[in-house]
Every structure is written in C-alpha cells, then in structure tokens.
Amino acid sequence: MNYRLASGGRMDRTRPLQFTFDGNRYTGFAGDTLASALIANGVHLVGRSFKYHRPRGFLSAGSDEPNALVGVGGIASRYTPNLCATQVELYDGLVAESQNRWPSLSFDVGRVNDVFARFLSAGFYYKTFMWPAAAWKSLYEPMIRKAAGLGKAPSAPDPDRYTQVYVHCDVLVVGAGPSGLAAALAAGRSGSKVILCDEQDQLGGTLLSESEAVIDGQAAAEWLARAIGDLSALPNVTLLPRTTAFGWYPHNFLGLCQRVKDHLGEVDSNAPRERMWQVRAREVVIATGAIERPLLFPDNDRPGIMMAEGARIYLNRYGAVAGTRAVVFTSCDSAYRAAIELKAAGVQVTTIADVRPSPKGPWIERARAAGIEVRGSTVVTGTTGHLRISHVDLVDEVSGKSETLPCDLLLMSGGFTPSVHLFSQSRGKLVYDEALKVYVPGQSVERERSVGACRGIFDLGAAIASGFSGGLDAVKASGGSPVEEATFVVLAESFGQNGVIGRPGKAAKYAGRAWVDFQNDVTTKDIELATREGFRSIEHVKRYTTTGMATDQGKTSNMNALGIVSQTLGVPVDKVGLTTFRPPYTPTTFGVFAGQSRGDLFDPVRKTSIHDWAEEQGAVFEDVSLWKRARYFPRRGEDMHAAVKRECAATRQSVGIFDATTLGKIEVVGKDAAEFMNRMYTNAWTKLEPGRLRYGVMLREDGFIMDDGVVGRMAADRFHVTTTTGGAARVLAQMEDYLQTEWSDLEVWLTSTTEQWAVIAVQGPNARKVLDPLVQDIDLSAAAMPHMSVREGHICGIPMRLFRVSFTGELGFEVNVPMGYGRAVWEAIHASGKAHDITPYGTETMHVLRAEKGYIIVGQETDGTVTPDDAGLSWAVGKAKKDFVGKRSLARPAMTSSDRKQMVGLLTVDPTVVLEEGAQVVADPQEPIPMTMIGHVTSSHWSATLGRSIALGLVRNGRARIGTRLTVPMPSGNVTVEVVRPVFYDPEGKRLDG
C-alpha cells in the first residue's frame, strides 16, 4: 500500500528529503513534518507512554500531540529530546529516534509495567516504598527515577545562539487561521502597526487543510494565498510564521518564540536558532483556534487511533492517508467530513459510530451517500491490536447488540475545545458554555479580544467575520481609525458544534481503562480513584493523578478529566473548577529565555582604564560586583603568597601603586550639601574645612553599617564622596531616596562620578618622592598637605584631585584623574617610581596591609548586622548630632547591649598558624556540640611585616576580653588565640607621614 497519494498536499514534491527514524531510512518531501512523512511511509508506532510503556502512534497533527515525542539530532550537541513529531519540519538528513523504550520501540521491556498496571494506580507511590525507611534513597527512588523521564537530556553544550528582541505594536494577532488572518487584514488595512504570528511554518491554520470551502468566490487555498499576499504588501504588518505566543505577562506584554533555524537542519550559520520577541501590544486579538477532543473508551490509545481532524490534515495538507480501513467514532458532525474526504481518497471507511441517538443533517446524508454506514447510539467498547489497532468493538446502546469490526485506523472526535490558554493567562474570566461543553472567554482583564474558534465560533464564515470585527475593534481601542466593516461570502457546510466531555454515552458500564491523559498514562480509573480518595478539587485531581501535567499540558485531556470528575461526583462541570493555564503554551527552549546572556555577556564586565596594563603585567583578577580587580601581580614562579609577601614588603619599605578606580564616587553639591551629609552619614561635616578629608560611615535606617569611604570637602558647597566598590549604586540610591522623598527642601545635587575618575593609590615611605616630579601646582610637603587633606591641581598636565590618604598605614596619596587619562598617568607614576622600585599591588596585598592596621572592610568585618560601635567606629559617630540616618535605631535595646559582638584582634599563640576566615571562636573548648560560639574570624593573613599571622574578628563583648585567651576549634584541633587590640602595626600612626 502506498500511503502517499499521487497528488495533493502542500509539500514540494520536486524536493524529496532523506531522513531516518530509529535507524531506518525514509523519504519525505520539503513541506512535510516528521509526522506526515512517517505516516506517508506507513509508520505509526512512534513512541511509548510514560508509565505503562504502551505502544503509541500519532493522535493529532498539531502541537497538542501527546504521543509522538521524539529525540531529534545527529550530533550530541544539537540533540533535542521530547520534540513533537507533528511540529518537526523535515529537512534532508534529519535523524530522529523514539524515546522511553528499551531495547527497541517494538519490543520494550518496560511494557511489563502495563501488566502490573492494577498495582500502579494513581498515586500508588505515596502508599508504599516506606519500608525499610533507608531503602527509599538507596533502592526505590533510583528505580523510580530510572523509569521516569521521557527523552535524554543533551550531553554536550549547545553550539547554537539565541536572541531576543523587544517590539511595540498597535495590534498583535495571535494565530493566523481564518479568523486571525481576517483580524490582521482589518487592522493592517486600517494602518495600524500589526504583528501576526502563528506557531506553524505556514500561515493559514485550518485553511491549509480546507478542501471544499469557498470564500469570496475563491477556493480556500486561493483566498489564503491572496490574503497573505495582501498582508505581505502592507508595510505596517509583520508576519511571523513558526512563532508561538507562549506567554502572557501583565500589561499586554507577550512572549513569542520564533523558530528561525531548526527547519534548515543541523547547520552552522550566523542565524540564531530561535528568537524571542517580547511584544508590548496596545491591543491583542487572540485567534488561537480550537483543539479536537478525544473520546473516552477502553483501550483508546493504540497506534492507529487518531483524531478525525488530524487524519484530515494529513490527507489534505500532506497527501498522506493514515490507514487503509477506517472506522469512525464521533459525537459531532466534523468527523463525518473527515470520513467522507478519506473515503474519496480511497480509504475504506466502513462505519461511522455516532454516540448521538439519531444523527441527522447534511453531513450524515453525505456520508451515507458516499457509501459509509452510519450507526446512531453506538459507542466503542474496546479495541484490539498490539502495535497497531486491528479491531474495534462497537455496541448499539439501544439494542445492546455488539459487533467487532476490523480496521487499521480508528478516527474519533468528541468536539472541539477552544484554546483559551492565552486569554486565561491574561487573567480573563472563563465561562462554561453548556451547549458546547467547553469554557469560552468571558470578561477581559487586559486589552484583548478573542475571535473565531477560540471563543467557540466554529463556523468558518462566522469565524472570519468575527476575526475582521475583532481586528477593527482592536484598531479602535488602540486609537487608530478602523476601515469599514467587510463582509465575506463563505460557502462552507457548518459541521455543527456538538461534543461530549467525560465518558460518551453509557460507556461507564463498559469495563477497561480509557486513557484521559495519553502521555502520562492517566485513565478514567485513576481519576475515579482520586475522587474516591477525597481529591475533589480539580487541582487535587490533577496533582494526584498527574492528568494534564505532561508535555502537552492537558490540551487534549483537561476537559475530559473535568467531565469524569463531574460525572463521578454528580457535580456540574462548572462547579468542579478549572485548573490554571500556565505559560508556556507549548514547551519553550531554555536557551531562548537566556538569549544572549552567556559567557561574558551574562553580566556586564566593568574594567578600569588601568585594567589592560595590569593584564599585560600578568595580574590575576577577581570579580568584585561587576568589576574585575587585580588581585595580585605574580612574577615568574610566584604563587599568590609569594607575590603578596613581595608586594607588602615593597609598599612598607619603599612604595607601592594600586588601582583604586573601582571605588564608588559621588559628587554631592549645593548650598545644603553639608547639612545633607550630616543627615546621611554618622559623622559631623559642618566643621570640615574645604581641602580636608574625613572617613565617613553610612548606616541603613535600621542602624547597621551599610557603607564607608573617605569624603573630601572640595568647597563649602561641594563634597567628593567615595564608597565601597560594591556599594556605589546602593549608596547613591539611598541618598537620592532621602533627598527626593524626605528632604526635597535641601538644595543638593547628586552625581555619580565613579566612571569619571581613575584613582591611583601611591602608598609607602617614598610615595611623595615618586609623585613630586610629576605634580606641578601642589605643594606635597607634609606641612602644606597634611594627612587627610585634598588638593586640586595637575599631574603630568592632567587635572587632578589629589587625596592625601592611606589605607595601608604608610604615607599615601590617591591620584584622581579623568578616567581616560588613567593609564597614561599610571604609567607616568610607574616610570617615576622606577628609582624606588615602585611595585604594583592588588587587592590581596591591600587586604593584608589594612588588616595590619586594623582598618575594616565593609562586607568583610561587617556583614549587615554590625553597628559602628561593634566595628570600633564610635569615634566616627557624631554624638552631638540630633539626627542622622540610622541614629534612632541605634538606641533600640538590643543595639546597645553589652553582649554584642565587637571587633578585636586575634593572635594565635603559635604565630605560624594562620586562622581560617570564617572560623568560629569559643570560650570553652571542652563544651560538647552544639558549642556556644561567641565570635568568628573576619580577616586572617600571614603578615610578612610582622613575621607572624594576624587576624581580626568579631567577638561577643570582645573589647572586655582583650588580654584573655579564647579557642578556635578546627577539625584538625583547637587553636588558642589571644584577644588583642585590632591594630598590629604602628599603633601610633607615625608612618603616615613617611
């Protein structure tokens, strides 16, 4: 038998394509899907179900397909599991394989589960595997996990690229079937900016498989071609085939996923594999169509049992017949149309079993005229056939007469379920339509309207008309000028709107499992069991049985599950409730969500203007917030410790140079600048004279240290504020918050200047000697420029703010020059320092040098739970000030407790032992676990200067413990430490003057 008809279909028969499925070679045509090509090759068995490993074939021809999931890809890095064969476009050389079977698709050992199905009822795993308790982890769970899952995850990194674009439009039309096309025509002709998207590779929806309808005097296919031509000619219309609107987010923001490249095969090209369109639409027209519902009858899941409309699509769109001898089981007229068309194509369609008592109407007449037997009040009570259906059992519910008919194709139709997913995601209210037995859109929340089949309008003429009106309505609502209403003359036999949900007829009395959710193997019995066990809310039924939770998200199963619950409990359908529709509409690639954010583009990389110099010198960098900071500058053969030892020694003995550009900088300017600083910082600023620096501490309003930094008063009304590297944005945000919303009466302007200044710290006894030759107009002498002062002048002719400040305890300067001059000035200083063996140092040496001096680092000594007093910074708190941010909180009882952790120095009794940062401190090393921890080590280093280890820590009531010994219990043994003042080097500060 040749399953591909000699003519017909929309594929390109001049372009045959080779592909393989499970290693077998087949041929299809350009324009085929993998599903249509397999059907045309007579292949029906394509998958195994999740739990019972039942053999499965194609149920549908669209994205609602629950059975035909395959792995696609010839190379590991492009292998993609769980793709719907009905959505995979064929390309030459396509390699596909079936999933969830071993050793082969036709002989699957897992099938044994089906034999034990009666033990594997819904939720059985909640009732067992509890004994012995330890066996869950070691035995039962691994066993369950191995059995679960569908396809295999790819094993190599994805070589493809994904992109994202943001767009705005007046009208977004989702779905390019007859109603969506009409809506796009209406909006496009009105001049609105329109986007029309559709998940399929071609626009047209049901028109792509329409065989006899006539629209405006043209055959459907011709009308479709003309409509697409008209739309393409409109510059204000963007057509996006292969693009699924997967999610609706607040304020008419929709996510669209466009498949750009997969249909071209596994080729390297510059094109992204997929593109996410993030669309802000003024108005949306939802034209997402409807999905045909399966009927519930025993063993309704065998290969060869298919939706009637699916078979019709394979026939009309792909010229492929899904079988040779067919029986039809239906509750509505639409299946008659499929039966008649298949019969005309040469398929032996013997019988239509119609659950309705006495079906009447034009379709029934036409079927009979075509020689198809029509039986009313007839239901299917069972099927046989192992890897494909071979027989179907029919029962006349009036006479009770039963008959078994041979067939290799059983078509079914229980009516159509509107695709209300996007509408529901938009938070619109759904209402139950008793006549249609479906939910349809009710009241809207967002700016949208549904047209055509997705609102229960199944008649072609009416659907097109509703689409056009919907398009005009959207134009009007978006502020455009709609064109005149248009009328469409549509000649098409309406196929009626009957349908059933739950069990058709009196099927309840026929024994056997009827599948509700095909992929997850949820049967009517499972749902009945769930209701029996008290799971009454539909959400509970869903979660207990897993119905509707498979990769198709219940597109074919949800309404039937509702029907079963309703029938079992005797509760009206609309009282059972409805599960929530969640994005995405169909499974959507992780990569397209991630977009370009990968590798270095994951987060911006901030580099200083001196970065390249450091890189050339072989510096090792660390990430500090978004910045790259040089951590140390190893020379040949040096590890970090050796490099740091050398850098420390050079700075203490002669001079070091350090890139401090990453520090945050904020210019605070205005007549009330000092008052503003008084309120924002713990310190008092009024009396700070221009030209002087002060170390400032900023708290959060809850009293804990938020940030610190040196602040220079440049003029009476101007402060140069520095912040920590990671805190810059936070500090500016807090300043702006208070300035704009609390103290808007203050005349102050804030400007972030972090990116304006390169900062070069020159530290060490020879710092002045290095800078002196380069600075033209500032007297650097200790008398003229004392510690903690700031001057404006020039270095190498470049404008400069020069800070005399030290974070090392040595004589120090910080040179601030415009960012672009950073490297030039750095190199000039470096050259000038050659005579003094100037040594570049990184953050690691900076940490050691400042720890030797007991200077804190916010985020190291503090952690968001530390007050100024805890950190030994009471001296920086302006006691006389009436108020500052955080002051009131410091007065709370727990903030003044004597038992708070306070910063101290910790010296190991054995000076060679370097404590581990984060190690805990106890008073009583004999205490059994859990031990009372009274503190922890915040910083710990080997101090080459002192020839011993040093550490800073926060210890409960620590200042009172100075002179006592405590213990740091480590896995390798206890370390005894002495509590000391947190200044290890030059406590008198004599070296600050060089």
Partner 1 sequence: MKRFSAFSLVRAALSGQSTWPRQWRSPEPKPSYDVVIVGGGGHGLATAFYLAERYGVRNVAVVEKGWIGGGNTGRNTTIIRSNYLFDESARLYDHALKLWEGLSNALNYNVMYSPRGVLMLAHNIHDVQSFKRHVHANRLNGIDNEWLSPQECKEYCPPLNVGGEMRYPILGAALQRRGGTARHDAVAWGYARAADARGVDIIENCEVTGIRRAASGHVEGIETTRGYIRANKVGVAAAGNTSVVMGMAGIRLPLESFPLQALVSEPVKPVFPCVVMSNTIHAYISQSDKGELVIGAGTDAYTSYSQRGALHIANHTLDAICELAPMFRRLRMLRNWGGVVDVTPDRSPIIAKTPVPGLYLNCGWGTGGFKATPGSGDVFAWTIARNEPHPINAPFTIERFREGVMIDEAAAAAVAH
Partner 2 sequence: MLLIKCPFCGPRPELEFSYGGEAHIARPQDPMSLDDEAWTEYLYIRSNPRGVHAERWRHINGCGRFFNARRNTISDEILETYMIGGSPAPVSEEKDRSPKGGAV
**Does 889 engage in binding with partner 2 (CB under 8 A)?**
yes
Among candidate residues 136, 89, 174, the one with its CA nearest the CA of residue 449: 174
Provide, rounded to whole angstroms, the least separation between the CB of residue 706 and partner 1: 8
DSSP character string of 166-234: EEEEEEEEE--SHHHHHHHHHHHHTT--EEEE-SSSSTTGGGGG--S-EETTEEHHHHHHHHHHHHHH-
- State the binding string over 432-451 for partner 2 (x if CB under 8 A, else -): -------------x------
Torsion of CA 946, 950, 956, 959, to 10 degrees: 10
Judged by CB under 8 A, the number of residues near partner 2 is: 28
Decide which of partner 1, partner 2, none touches 252; Cβ closer than 5 to 8 Å per partner kind: partner 2
**Three-point CA angle 254, 256, 262, nearest 5°:** 170
Residue 4 vs 679, nearer CB to partner 2: 679
First to last CA, the chain: 99
Q: For residue 397, how many other CB atoms are within 10 A of its CB?
A: 18
Q: CA-CA distance, 720 to 713, in Å (whole number)?
A: 6
Q: How far apart are CA 439 and CA 293, in angstroms?
A: 13
Going from the C-alpha of 154 to that of each of 21, 275, 591, 668, the distances in angstroms are 18, 20, 13, 54
Burial of 924 (0-12, 13-18, 19+ CB in 10 A): exposed
| 887 interacts with, out of partner 1, partner 2, none, CB within 5 to 8 A per kind | partner 2
Restricting to residues 411-470, name those near partner 1 by CB under 8 A.
427
Cβ(850)–Cβ(928) below 8 Å: no
CA distance 293 to 330: 10
Among 888, 960, 970, 974, binds partner 2 (CB under 8 A): 888
**Would you say how long the chain is, in residues?**
994
- What distance in Å separates the CA atoms of residue 299 and residue 311, rounded to the nearest whole number? 19
Segment lying near partner 1 (by CB under 8 A), choices 353-361, 415-423, 541-549, 803-811: 541-549
Among residues 111, 263, 280, 730, the one that binds partner 2 under rule CB under 8 A:
280
842-901 binders of partner 1 (CB under 8 A)? 843, 857-860, 862-865, 889, 892-895
Residue 834 phi, psi (nearest 5): -50, -45
Stretch that binds partner 2, among 147-155, 542-550, 736-744, 778-786 (CB under 8 A): 736-744
Residues with Cβ within 8 Å of 530's Cβ and at least 6 positions away in sequence, in order, are: 122, 123, 540, 541, 544, 545
Which member of 269, 402, 596, 740 binds partner 2 (CB under 8 A)? 740
| 232 versus 537: smaller Cβ distance to partner 1 | 537
DSSP 453: G
CB of 70 to partner 2, least distance (A): 35
Calpha distance 572→595 (Å, rounded): 45
Among 405, 462, 508, 594, binds partner 1 (CB under 8 A): 594
Among 192, 377, 589, 734, binds partner 1 (CB under 8 A): 589
- Near partner 1 by CB under 8 A, which window of 363-371, 590-598, 680-688, 906-914? 590-598
Q: Which residues in 610-629 contact partner 1 (CB under 8 A)? A: 622-625
Which of 155, 891, 899, 988 is in the footprint of partner 2 by CB under 8 A?
891
77/358 with CB nearer partner 1: 77
Does residue 140 bind partner 2 (CB under 8 A)?
Answer: no
Cis check: omega of the bond before 786, within 30 degrees of 0 = no
709 lies in the site for partner 1, by CB under 8 A: no
CA distance 153 to 590: 12
Which of partner 1, partner 2, none does 806 bind, CB closer than 5 to 8 A by kind? none
593 near partner 2 (CB under 8 A): no
**Among the candidate windows 60-68, 548-556, 633-641, 734-742, which touches partner 2 by CB under 8 A?**
734-742
Q: Which of 312, 830, 887, 961 is in the footprint of partner 2 by CB under 8 A?
A: 887
Told to check if 779 binds partner 2 by CB under 8 A, we report: no
Confirm or reject binding of residue 58 to partner 1 (CB under 8 A).
no
User: Binder to partner 2 among 249, 593, 621, 695 (CB under 8 A)?
Assistant: 249
Indicate which of partner 2, partner 1, none lies near residue 23 (CB less than 5 to 8 Å, by partner kind): none
Stretch that binds partner 2, among 131-139, 580-588, 597-605, 884-892 (CB under 8 A): 884-892
CB 288 to partner 2: min, Å = 22
Contacts to partner 2 from residues 155-174, by CB under 8 A: 166
Side-chain half-sphere exposure of 920, counting CA atoms within 13 A: 12
Which position among 651, 724, 902, 949 is part of the footprint of partner 1 (CB under 8 A)? 724
Of 349, 359, 298, nearest in space to 323 by CA: 349
Helices (H), 712-776: 728-741, 767-771
The whole-angstrom separation of Cα 100 and Cα 82 is 10
Please state the closest distance from residue 463 (CB atom) to partner 1, in A. 30
Determine, following the binding rule CB under 8 A, whether residue 603 of this chain makes contact with partner 2. no
Q: Which is nearer to partner 1, 2 or 580 (CB)?
A: 580
Report if residue 429 touches partner 2, rule: CB under 8 A: no
Site for partner 1 in 920-949 (CB under 8 A): 920, 922, 929-931, 933, 936
Pairing mode of beta strands 305-307, 409-413: parallel
What is the smallest separation between the CB atom of 418 and partner 2, expressed in angstroms?
23
CB of 741 to partner 2, least distance (A): 5
Report the residue number, 356 or 936, with the smaller CB distance to partner 1: 936
Considering the rule CB under 8 A, would residue 125 count as an interface residue with partner 1? Answer: yes
Query: Of these, 8, 110, 154, 691, which contacts partner 1 (CB under 8 A)?
Result: 154
Q: Which of 152, 360, 386, 965 binds partner 1 (CB under 8 A)?
A: 152
Least Å from the CB of residue 888 to partner 2: 4
CB 359 within 8 A of CB 374: yes
> Should residue 250 be labelled a site residue for partner 2 when binding is judged by CB under 8 A?
yes
Of these, 27, 114, 214, 253, which contacts partner 1 (CB under 8 A)?
A: 253
Total residues at the site for partner 1 (CB under 8 A)? 122
Residue of 981, 650, 977 lying closest to 841 (CA atoms): 650
Q: Are 135 and 129 in contact (CB under 8 A)?
A: yes
Binding residue (CB under 8 A) for partner 1 from 47, 385, 703, 886: 703
- Residues forming beta bridges with residue 695, ordered by sequence position: 710
Q: Which residue, 71 or 323, has its beta carbon nearer to partner 1?
A: 71
DSSP code of residue 550? S
Taking the complex as a whole, the smallest distance from the CB of residue 591 to partner 2 amounts, in Å, to: 20
Residue 733 vs 783, nearer CB to partner 2? 733
The β-bridge relationship of strands 656-659 and 839-840 is: parallel
* CA 180 to chain CA centroid, nearest Å: 29
Phi-psi region of 392 (alpha: psi -120 to 50; beta: other; left: phi over 0): beta
Three-class DSSP category at 45 = coil
Interface with partner 2 (CB under 8 A) = 166, 249-253, 278, 280, 427, 445, 701-702, 733, 736-738, 740-742, 744, 882-883, 887-889, 891-893
